[in-house]
Amino acid sequence: MKKVELKNVSKTYDGKLTVINDASVTVHPGEFFVLVGPSGCGKSTMLRMIAGLENVSSGDLYIGDEKANKLPPSSRNLSMVFQNYALYPHLTVEQNITFGLHTKKISKQEQMKRCKEAAEMLGLSDYLKRKPRNLSGGQRQRVALARAIVTHSPICLMDEPLSNLDAKLRAKMRSEIRQIQRKLGITMIYVTHDQTEAMTMADRMMILDKGVVQQIGQPLEIYNQPKNTFVASFIGSPPMNLEKATVNQTNFLLGENIAFDCPKGFSHRSLRQVLLGVRPENVRLANNSRVSFIGKVLNVEVLGTETLLTIEMDQHQWIARWNGQWNVQVGDAVPITIGEEDLFVFDAENGECIFTPPKDSDRLTVEGVYV
């Protein structure tokens, strides 16, 4: 296992277009690290710099304890899985998997041993004599993954490997890739624009926007403590509700009819305006014991296990996520409550988070005991 370290790394084209700006991070040995962000944010460029397919414009890149800025790709001792699989159509599955091992001067016997081990691990044993055109998308993706595994490289790079698959297969492959990474103990750096993939697969993740690192941390840490409005709206599905509010000594005012008490511990009362954030799961149906607002339902999406509602309150639209199946119709008036204990507060000018609601542990063990 090896670590990968970036120290103040930047990537600039023609001295003008900056794609990565002063990025620093250490990917620990054996870690599943995810680079996530919208299209064009620079995540694939960062992966290609680690692979040696792009030069580092400034800063230092270390693989293990060795500085790798000028190291050719063949000397970096890593493998890579591409978005388009990059399989040779005229070669069999077996030949695709072992392709390149001969350059490492590995014996034919050892090549076949590694190929059979990888094929068995990925359920490809019955397809070794087939050509890629006779395989499904998921099977081709497994072949590309097997080709990376047989190199026994301590670092594996993946560039949006599941984006060409359908939703059901993506979910299955997410689980398989994570299990294989744990079994082999390799360091894996995974690029995706899908925040669901990032949340479900990562030990830690880096969120990028326009080449700038927004936040690095564990998935739940980032979900519960977003650094700014970009992170808050990008991580979470549906995204966090964000609305402008005016601050006074005791509450936040949204328009004329909606007011929230300032949460306990909020100390930025000198600000005149803020952005309030509320996760959709915290926009709840009111009961008699809670202060409520009457909202008009603009849209309903019943997904089976949950129901998503777009609700208008005093010209503000909120997304609510309720567990289960709800018989709510467009146009209905519903009583809504949002507790001050669920409010995130962001600076209205720079988007930085200035208050995060305290999070009591509500994660359950298998035995159903709070931890």
- 3-state SS of the chain is CCCEEEEEEEEEECCCEEEEEEEEEEECCCCEEEEECCCCCCHHHHHHHHHCCCCCCEEEEEECCEECCCCCHHHCCEEEECCCCCCCCCCCHHHHHHCCHHHHCCCHHHHHHHHHHHHHHCCCHHHCCCCHHHCCHHHHHHHHHHHHHCCCCCEEEEECCCCCCCHHHHHHHHHHHHHHHHHHCCEEEEEECCHHHHHHHCCEEEEEECCEEEEEECHHHHHHCCCEHHHHHHCCCCCCEEEEEEECCCEEEECCCEEEECCCCCCCCCCCEEEEEECHHHCEECCCCCCCEEEEEEEEEECCCEEEEEEEECCEEEEEEEECCCCCCCCCEEEEECCHHHCEEEECCCCEEEECCCCCCCCECCCCCEC
Q: Of 135 and 358, which is predicted with more confidence? A: 135
- pLDDT of residue 362 exceeding 80, the answer is no
Residue 30: the pLDDT is: 95
- pLDDT of residue 55 exceeding 90, the answer is yes
Topology, domain 4-225:
Rossmann fold (3.40.50)
CATH of the structural domain 230-355, one choice from 2.40.50.140, 3.40.50.150, 1.10.3720.10, 3.40.190.10 = 2.40.50.140
Distance in angstroms between the alpha carbons of the first and the last residue of the chain: 32
Q: What is the mean pLDDT of the chain?
A: 90
Dihedral sign for Cα atoms in the order 69, 75, 79, 80: positive
Per the structure block, which two tokens stand in for 368? 């159903």
Residue 190: the pLDDT is: 96
Q: How far is 271 from 229, CA to CA, in rounded Å? A: 17
Locus of tokens 């792009």:
54
Q: Could you tell me the maximum CA-CA distance found in the chain, to the nearest angstrom?
A: 77
Residue 319 contacts residue 280 (beta carbons within 8 Å): yes
With cut-offs at 50, 70 and 90, classify the pLDDT of residue 371.
very low
For the segment 38-67, the average pLDDT, to the nearest whole number, is 95
Q: How far is 246 from 254, CA to CA, in rounded Å? A: 7
What's the predicted TM-score (pTM) here? Answer: 0.89
Residue 365: the pLDDT is: 58
Residue 360: the pLDDT is: 61
Per-domain boundaries in the chain:
4-225, 230-355
Percent of the chain, pLDDT > 90?
Answer: 64
Residue 121: the pLDDT is: 85
- pLDDT of residue 204 exceeding 90, the answer is yes
Q: What is the pLDDT of residues 93-104, one digit of tens each?
A: 999 999 888 778
Q: How far is 365 from 273, CA to CA, in rounded Å? A: 41
- pLDDT of residue 60 exceeding 60, the answer is yes
For the segment 353-368, the average pLDDT, to the nearest whole number, is 70
For the segment 191-205, the average pLDDT, to the nearest whole number, is 94
Dihedral sign for Cα atoms in the order 83, 88, 93, 94: negative
For the segment 136-164, the average pLDDT, to the nearest whole number, is 89
With cut-offs at 50, 70 and 90, classify the pLDDT of residue 269.
low
With cut-offs at 50, 70 and 90, classify the pLDDT of residue 164.
confident
